Structures are given as C-alpha cells and as structure tokens.
C-alpha cells in the first residue's frame, strides 16, 4: 500500500509547487501529483512579469494581495537558492506602460494619482532612459516595482526545495478523480494507482474546471491561449519591460527578450499558430522598431486559466473544508504564486487569514449573482 499523506496537491505548476513548498517547510507531509512534468503547463509559457501595477487597475483586495506577493519574491530569491541552489532570476528594473495616443496618455496619467510609486514620463524622458523605444509614443507610465522572474526556475526551485524538505512529487500521474472515502480520507485516482490524503488542494490550472464540476461546483475555467516568442540581439538594449495593451517585451537576465502574448479565447491547443505569431509581431514591432532586426530564437504557447471574473479561486469547498482550490490565476499566476502558497498554508494550518482576501477569492463568490445552484 502506498503512504498516506496529510495534503495531496493536484497539479505541479507554479501554484501547486508554491503550496507544496510552504507546507513542507512546516513539516506537513505533502504529495504533489502532476499529469506530466511539473511546470509544463502555463507556468513554462509565462513571461514571468510581476505586474501588480501594470496588470491590476483597481486598488482593491486583489491588488493588495498582488503587491504582497510581489514583495515576497525578494525573500524567496535567497530562501529558494539556499535550499535548492536554483536562482529564480529576479530582475527588478521596472516597467514602462506606454501610451500611443493622447487618450491612452490621459488614462495612464490618471493611474499616477492613485499609486505613490508610479510616475508619468514624457516621450523625452522615456527615450532618454530607453533609446530603443519608438519616438512615436506619447509617453509612458513608469512602474518601478514591476520586475520579473524566470517562471521555469521559480517552479523548479519550489519543487526541489519542497522535495529536499520532505515533500513527494510524482510526475506522469494524472489525477482522474477525487473521491472522499471517509472523513479525512480522500482518494486521488491515477493510472499509477490510488493515493490517499487528509486534504486535497486542486491546483491544476485551466484543467481544474473538471474537478469543480466533479465536486459539485458550477465554476467554469476557460483557457485563454497566449502565444509568445523570444529574440536575441547584441545591439538592442532595454532596461525595463515595455508594456502596451496586454503585450510586452521583457528583457530577461539571460539576454533574451521575451515578447508576448496573444489572447485567444477557448482554444485549448498549446502550440503557436502561424497567424498568432504574425499578429504578435505586428503588435509589438511598432513599440521598439529595432526589434525587427533581432534574431528570432523561439516561439511557444500556453493556456492561462481564466475564472469567470478573472480573479483566482483560493479557498475551501463550500461544503467541505478539506477540499481546497488554488486556481484561476489567469494572466498573473507567476506574480501571485508566493502569496497563494502562504494563503493555502494558512487555511490548512487554520491560521488567521485577511477576511478581504478570503472573500475576494472565495470559490462561491459569484454563485449568488449567477443564481446557479450547487448540485
């Protein structure tokens, strides 16, 4: 018979592994099951931006949560490197969110008022700092705190640290069904056999929709496919991420510029289409004209796990608090991974959790409105 675990986590992407890491650090016996290799879902497709300010426009609980998570990365960098020797490649040089029209400029200038650290930079200032940016821009919002990491390395560092702290990680183990055998006894069935645990965390990204349904919840999970590419150049220099209308050029610490990403709804394929890459090139080339002469080195795609309102589900099943959800992180799962890990840990350890967060990410938050009934 196989070992019984305190916590079984379905999905070994950045969210599942962040949770595993936090639990393993507390000495909890934890099992992570991934259907494939860890990190091979959305995580390995992500650009790795920590876009709290650039991505989230309202100063609400979600934004606070994102900022806390962003800050956590500064500690995690050393912590994870100590445990695992793996460097997460945190780059902290900020971002320019660019305006191409006057209307866009006005909208961005508004944002400045709400956030202390943000600043509006005129075209001249921008070109001064980043001479490669197009002179056609109106100016840009300067967001000093939105850096980036290497998602693959963050996920691997969580995985290896958790492993060395005692967690068990099993690859090639797709969870086919989650069943309650008795109190404190959940069965995760896979082709490798059944695994049992006291609590279950559902963290399998866009593929988690099936388990909401299996466990009687109406929440749906929709894929929003994103296509990316990477270029290299010895002469193109960018210090900051350049961001415009959901697209971006991220100057990574390994010399690549990651360019992303398209937004294709309801497409489950994980390979870039010719048309998608075409559209992406058209979108970003005007931002940094010199990028056309850079060398194209790779293209790829991934599926963002989109919940119905675009916010993640981080919380317990309404009728069974041994079943937890940590999914639906959509465009910001890399940013939100650290704080999702500690929040799920706190649920499991029954620690106090900020009520605003509990409410904002509750699994049942839209059910009333949508008037749907839990079966």
Ligand X SMILES: Cc1cc2nc3c(=O)[nH]c(=O)nc-3n(C[C@H](O)[C@H](O)[C@H](O)COP(=O)(O)OP(=O)(O)OC[C@H]3O[C@@H](n4cnc5c(N)ncnc54)[C@H](O)[C@@H]3O)c2cc1C
- Positions touching a second copy (CB under 8 A) are 35-36, 81, 84-87, 89, 91, 93, 153, 156-157, 159-160, 163-164, 169-174, 176-177, 189-192, 206-210, 213-214, 221, 229, 231, 234-235, 237-239, 251-255, 268-275, 277-278, 281-282, 285, 291-297, 299
Q: Which residues are near ligand X by CB under 6 A?
A: 10-16, 33-36, 38, 40-43, 45-49, 51, 174-175, 203-205, 207, 226, 228, 260-261, 302-305, 327, 329-335
- Quote the least distance from Cβ 374 to ligand X, whole Å: 22
47 binds, among a second copy, ligand X, none (CB under 5 to 8 A by kind): ligand X
| Residue 134 binds which of a second copy, ligand X, none (CB < 5-8 A, kind-dependent) | none
Which listed option, a second copy, ligand X, none, makes contact with residue 29 (CB within 5 to 8 Å by class)? none
Give the pair of three-digit tokens for residue 325: 């959800």
Please state the closest distance from residue 314 (CB atom) to a second copy, in A. 20
Token output for 297:
């080195």
User: Which of the choices ligand X, a second copy, none does residue 240 contact, using the CB cut-off of 5 to 8 A by kind?
Assistant: none
Q: Are 264 and 228 in contact (CB under 8 A)?
A: no
Instruction: Pick the closer one to a second copy by CB: 96 or 207.
Output: 207
For residue 232, the minimal CB distance to ligand X (Å) is 16
DSSP result, 174-187: ---EEEEEETTEEE
Cβ proximity to ligand X: between 10 and 86 the closer is 10
Tell me how far, at minimum, the Cβ of 73 lies from a second copy, in Å: 16
Q: How far is CA 258 from CA 148, 233, 293, in A?
A: 11, 12, 15
Contact 244, 108 (CB under 8 A): no
Q: Cα Rg for the chain, rounded, in angstroms? A: 21
Report the residue number, 172 or 356, with the smaller CB distance to a second copy.
172
Partner touching 85 among a second copy, ligand X, none, CB below 5 to 8 Å by kind: a second copy
Chain position carrying tokens 């350890």: 349
Angstrom distance (rounded) from CA 265 to CA 262? 10
Is the Cα dihedral 338, 56, 46, 307 positive or negative?
positive
Token digits for 317?
């099943």
Instruction: Say which entry of ligand X, a second copy, none residue 57 contacts (CB below 5 to 8 A, set by partner kind).
Output: none
CB of 143 to a second copy, least distance (A): 18
For the CB of residue 359, give the shortest distance to ligand X in the complex, in Å.
21
Shortest distance (Å) from residue 49 CB to ligand X: 3
Provide DSSP, 180-230: EEETTEEEEEETTEEEEEEEEEE--GGGGHHHHHHTT-----EEEEEEEEE
Distance between CA atoms of residues 229 and 139, nearest Å:
25
Q: Indicate the residue among 11 and 251 with the shorter CB distance to ligand X.
A: 11
CB of 321 to ligand X, least distance (A): 21
Q: Which does 234 bind (CB under 5 to 8 A by kind): a second copy, ligand X, none?
A: a second copy
The residue (of 33 and 80) whose beta carbon lies closer to ligand X is: 33
Q: How far is the CB of 255 from ligand X (least distance, A)?
A: 17
Pick 307 or 347: Cβ nearer a second copy? 307
Of a second copy, ligand X, none, which one sits near residue 153, judging by CB under 5 to 8 A according to partner kind? a second copy
**Chosen from ligand X, a second copy, none, partner binding at 25 (C-beta under 5 to 8 Å by type):** none
Residue 357, Cα to own-chain centre: how many angstroms?
17
Phi, psi dihedrals of residue 35, rounded to the nearest 5°: -70, -20
Specify the residue, 178 or 288, whose C-beta has the smaller distance to ligand X. 178
- Other CB atoms within 10 Å distance of the CB of residue 240: 24
Burial letters 301-323, b for 16+ CB under 10 A, else e: bbbbbbbbeebbbbbbbeeeebb
Give Cβ neighbours of residue 58 (< 8 Å, ≥ 6 apart). none
Q: Which is nearer to ligand X, 9 or 105 (CB)?
A: 9
Q: Residue 49: name the closest of 206, 204, 154 by CA.
A: 154
Q: Which two tokens stand for residue 302?
A: 């991934």
Residue 319 corresponds to which tokens in the numbers above? 């009728």
Number of other residues whose CB lies within 10 A of the CB of residue 181: 10
């Amino acid at each position: 018979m196989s070992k019984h675990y305190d916590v079984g986590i379905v999905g070994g992407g950045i969210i599942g592994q962040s949770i595993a890491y936090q639990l393993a650090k507390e000495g909890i016996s934890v099992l992570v099951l991934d259907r494939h290799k860890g990190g091979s879902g959305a995580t390995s497709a992500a650009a790795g931006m920590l876009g709290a300010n650039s991505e989230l426009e309202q100063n609400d609980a979600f934004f606070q949560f994102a900022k806390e998570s962003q800050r956590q990365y500064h500690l995690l960098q050393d912590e994870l490197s100590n445990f695992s020797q793996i460097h997460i490649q945190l780059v902290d040089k900020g971002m320019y969110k660019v305006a191409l029209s006057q209307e866009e400029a006005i909208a961005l200038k508004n944002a400045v008022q709400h956030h202390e650290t943000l600043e509006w930079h005129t075209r001249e200032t921008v070109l001064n700092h980043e001479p490669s940016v197009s002179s056609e821009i109106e100016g840009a919002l300067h967001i000093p705190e939105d850096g980036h990491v290497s998602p693959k390395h963050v996920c691997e560092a969580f995985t290896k640290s958790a492993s060395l702290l005692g967690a068990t990680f099993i690859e090639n183990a797709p969870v086919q069904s989650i069943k309650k055998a008795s109190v404190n006894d959940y069965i995760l069935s896979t082709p490798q056999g059944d695994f049992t645990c006291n609590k279950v965390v559902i963290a399998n990204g866009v593929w988690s929709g099936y388990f909401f349904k299996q466990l009687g919840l109406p929440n749906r999970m929709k894929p929003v496919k994103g296509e990316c590419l990477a270029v290299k150049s010895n002469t193109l220099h960018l210090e900051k991420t350049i961001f415009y209308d959901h697209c971006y050029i991220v100057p990574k610490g390994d010399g690549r510029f990651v360019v992303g990403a398209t937004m294709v709804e309801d497409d489950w394929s994980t390979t870039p289409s010719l048309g998608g890459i075409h559209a992406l090139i058209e979108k970003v080339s005007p931002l940094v004209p010199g990028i056309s002469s850079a060398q194209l080195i790779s293209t790829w795609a991934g599926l963002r796990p989109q919940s119905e309102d675009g916010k993640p589900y981080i919380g317990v099943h309404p009728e069974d608090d041994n079943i937890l959800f940590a999914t639906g992180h959509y465009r910001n799962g890399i940013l939100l991974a650290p704080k999702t890990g500690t929040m799920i840990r706190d649920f499991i350890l029954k620690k106090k959790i900020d009520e605003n967060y509990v409410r904002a990410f509750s699994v049942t938050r839209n059910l009333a409105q949508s008037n749907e009934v839990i079966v």
